[in-house]
Structure 1
Amino acid sequence: MPSHGQGAVSSAWLVEALAAAHVRDLSYCSGDLHSMDDPGRIEVEQHCWVEVSHGGDRLVVDVTGDQSELLRAHPVVYGWHDELQTALRVDYRPKHRLTRLQLQYDPVRTRLAILDQNLKANR
């Protein structure tokens, strides 16, 4: 799996990038991906993605979708949660949602700092 193990830091980086672009109502999410065709089956455990809340809707942005066999053809998933359930037959079920501020205290910050440092060094 090409992006295996990169979901947390990739999602944390995306939260920072979107916040810098003034996107509001961001959440760093961690939880499980479930198949809509077999709701008891967990496709990916302990997965991370980003959500943007708009009213009662959830816009899902998953830059490591290729970790799931179900989403192999969709390495980057972007869409409204309800539409993804229908179109891609996947259900994103967060166990935890962190705001950008809460993310500052999450252990993923260590890896994000390394990523930021490497990105700055290669500019």
Structure 2
Amino acid sequence: MSPLLLALGALAGGVGAALRYSADVAISRWWRPPWGVFVVNILGSFALGILTGSAAGADLQLVLGGGLLGGFTTFSAVSVTTILLAEEKRGRMAILNAAGTLLLALAAAAVGLMLGSALTAVPS
């Protein structure tokens, strides 16, 4: 891997993290946690599915998938949010957050993979 590609991936990861924080704050203005992190992880899983299913080259997948979307989505935020919900005596919401994120993120990734593959397979 070239140093330039590594630097681009790192920069994209920082941008992704800033986008995650911004999206979480914006969504949290309307709905209280865990909805910001929840939506971010579902959208990120869908986008990564599209990218992975597409004909994007390995370098682009590294920068956008590993960097940007890797910084945008985060398992640690889901984990901390789930624990905080449990500590707030919001046990049902904690369980819904953990299970819902896992199930919907997997479903979003699967749909994204199918869509990315279908878009790539369309004859030009």
Write 1 or 2 for the structure with the bigger share of helix: 2
TM-score (norm 1): 0.31
Name whichever structure is richer in strand by fraction: 1
* Structure possessing the higher radius of gyration over alpha carbons: 2
TM-score by length of 2: 0.31
